[in-house]
């Protein structure tokens, strides 16, 4: 009798392997995912005597969502190169889309403790209304989609897990730690403020900082921010789909 295959099962498998089982069997990993965004938030909040707390909370959320996607790169590479798991999955009825969907959702689930803490902080200190929540959610979704696309593309091209982890850390540093994500871009001196615009996270941070009232932006500037963010997301996703490999050639 032909088995009716469940897509829900196929996505669940990725979530279990890439998040739940690791968190359940090694609880310590959960702590490290929380500490990284919170530590920078604490530094910025202390240095600014609490003035930039709201900005830093928004920055923490950006960092979590961006880093989650980028972590996909090293996780996929680890499972592919060290355990040959991807080879086993390619030679099975699972499609690349189902594999990716499960693995991507796993990254978000892995970050849930951090997201919950930052969301509670945001609810207490920023107190966003429904429209602000919708805008923040849209920006974070775009941020995640963008980083997932980058992560998937790099993972399928990578054959070395050490290189993947190093690259993952480098991308997080370049795109989530260094740019004005935890603090407003107005604090970045010339000419570095122009360099900051090389990172898509800067545009996301500007929209979020404007949304919570921590930054003033003209309508034109805001439109450009959205356009760049959406454009970068579409372009990188397109490249990821075109360049990434499921069956090798």
Partner 1 sequence: MGRLECINLTKVYEDHRTALDNVSFSVESKGIFGLIGRNGAGKTTLIRILATELEPTSGSAYIDGIDVFSQAGKLRERIAIVPQEARAVRWMTPKQTVFSYLLWRGYPYKEADRLADESLSKLGLVPYRDVLNSKLSGGTKRKVLIATVTASEAPIIFLDEPTMGLDPISRRELWDILRELGKSRFIFLTTHYLDEAEQLADKIGILKEGKLISVGNLSELRSSVRYQYSIKLSSKKEVPKTGDAEVTVSSSGYTQIMTNEKEAFRLARLFSEQGIKFSITPVTLDDIFFRLAGQKAGDETEA
Closest distance between partner 1 and the C-beta of residue 145, in Å? 23
DSSP element (H, E) containing 201: helix 200-211
Q: How far apart are CA 243 and CA 155, in angstroms?
A: 11
Minimum CB separation from partner 1 for residue 29, in Å? Answer: 8
Count of residues of this chain found to bind partner 1 when the rule CB under 8 A is applied: 34
- Cβ closest to partner 1, residue 13 vs residue 217: 13
Binding test (CB under 8 A) with partner 1, winner from 26, 129, 219, 220: 26
Does 194 engage in binding with partner 1 (CB under 8 A)? Answer: no
Task: Tell me the CA end-to-end span of the chain in Å, nearest whole number.
Answer: 34
Burial code (b: 16+ CB inside 10 Å, e: under 16) for 31-60 equals eebbebbbebbeebbeeeeeebbbbbbbbb
Question: What's the min distance (Å) between Cβ of 88 and partner 1?
Answer: 6
What DSSP letter does each residue of 149-173 carry, written as one string? Answer: HHHHHHHHH---HHHHHHHHHHHHI
Residues 97-156 that bind partner 1 (CB under 8 A): 98-99
* Distance (Å, whole) CA 119 – CA 116: 5
Candidate segments 79-87, 156-164, 202-210, 236-244, binder of partner 1 by CB under 8 A = 79-87
Chain residues binding partner 1 by CB under 8 A are 3-7, 9-10, 12-14, 16-17, 21-22, 25-26, 79, 82-85, 87-94, 98-99, 247-249
């Amino acid at each position: 009798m032909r088995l009716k295959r469940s897509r829900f099962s196929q996505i669940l498998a990725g979530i279990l392997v890439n998040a739940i089982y690791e968190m359940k069997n090694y609880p310590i990993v959960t702590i490290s995912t929380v500490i990284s965004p919170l530590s920078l938030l604490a530094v910025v909040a202390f240095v600014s005597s609490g003035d930039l707390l709201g900005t830093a909370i928004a920055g923490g959320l950006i960092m979590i969502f961006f880093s989650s996607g980028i972590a996909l790169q090293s996780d996929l590479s680890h499972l592919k190169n060290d355990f040959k798991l991807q080879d086993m999955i390619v030679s099975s009825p699972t499609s690349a889309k189902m594999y990716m969907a499960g693995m991507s959702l796993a990254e978000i689930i892995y970050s849930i403790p951090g997201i919950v803490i930052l969301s509670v902080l945001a609810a207490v200190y920023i107190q966003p209304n429904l429209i602000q929540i919708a805008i923040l959610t849209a920006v974070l979704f775009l941020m995640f989609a963008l980083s997932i696309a980058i992560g998937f593309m790099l993972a399928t091209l990578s054959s070395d897990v050490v290189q993947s982890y190093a690259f993952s850390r480098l991308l997080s540093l370049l795109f989530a730690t260094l740019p004005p994500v935890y603090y407003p871009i107005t604090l970045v001196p010339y000419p570095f403020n122009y360099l900051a615009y090389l990172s898509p996270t800067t545009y996301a941070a500007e929209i979020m900082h404007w949304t919570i009232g921590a930054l003033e932006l003209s309508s034109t500037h805001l439109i450009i921010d959205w356009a760049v963010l959406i454009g970068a997301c579409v372009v990188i996703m397109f490249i990821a789909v075109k360049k990434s490999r499921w069956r090798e050639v």
